[in-house]
Amino acid sequence: MEFVLRLDPRFRWTLYAALAVLFATGVVWLITDAWKDSPKGEFWQQASADLLMIHGGSAMLTLLVLGALIPTHLQRAWHSRKNRVAGAILGVTNGLLVVTAFGLYYAGSDALRAWISDVHSAVGLMVPILLVAHIVLGRRSMRAASGRGSR
């Protein structure tokens, strides 16, 4: 049953592309936002707004992909008892990003929104390293299991 933990390549690359766009637009937004009070402030403000639009659109695609991942990957992987710690960390990370993204849209007070923005950005910056660690550890655990003849 473990062979189904490998994702369909098209699905896997859609996930990687959506997360890469989220990461890139998030990081570049942090830079353009810091420049919004510079002499060319108007330009950077427009660039920030455009980046957030791409980020928000990509977030919608990511929600679809993450939702599809629950029955196809998370549940199966969890029941196979493989890579549980790295999987749980990645699951919680993505959950935090979705919850804080909701907060970015609907938080009432400016102070709360600023705090949520910091948490969202800090957690988001960790995504690449957590995802790569998850995949490396996951593949290692699958190889170890197949070496023991249980795959």
Q: Which 46-85 positions form the footprint of ligand HEM (CB under 6 A)?
A: 52, 55-56, 59, 62-63, 69, 73-74, 77-78, 82-84
Q: Does 28 bind ligand HEM (CB under 6 A)?
A: no
Q: Any idea which residue has 């950005």 for tokens?
A: 121
Q: Whose CB is nearest to ligand HEM?
A: 87
Q: Which 79-98 positions form the footprint of ligand HEM (CB under 6 A)?
A: 82-84, 87-88, 90-91, 94, 97-98
| Residue number with CB closer to ligand HEM (45 or 121) | 121
Q: By the 8 A CB rule, do 138 and 87 touch?
A: yes
Q: By the 8 A CB rule, do 63 and 96 touch?
A: no
* Terminal Cα distance for the chain, rounded: 8
By the 10 Å C-beta count (0-12 exposed, 13-18 middle, 19+ buried), 41 is classed as exposed
- Which alpha helices (H) appear in 5-83, and where do they start and end? 9-34, 41-69, 75-79
Residues of the shown chain interacting with ligand HEM in the complex, contacts defined by CB under 6 A: 5-7, 12, 15, 19, 22-23, 26-27, 29-30, 52, 55-56, 59, 62-63, 69, 73-74, 77-78, 82-84, 87-88, 90-91, 94, 97-98, 101, 104, 117, 120-121, 124-125, 127, 134-135, 138-139, 141-142
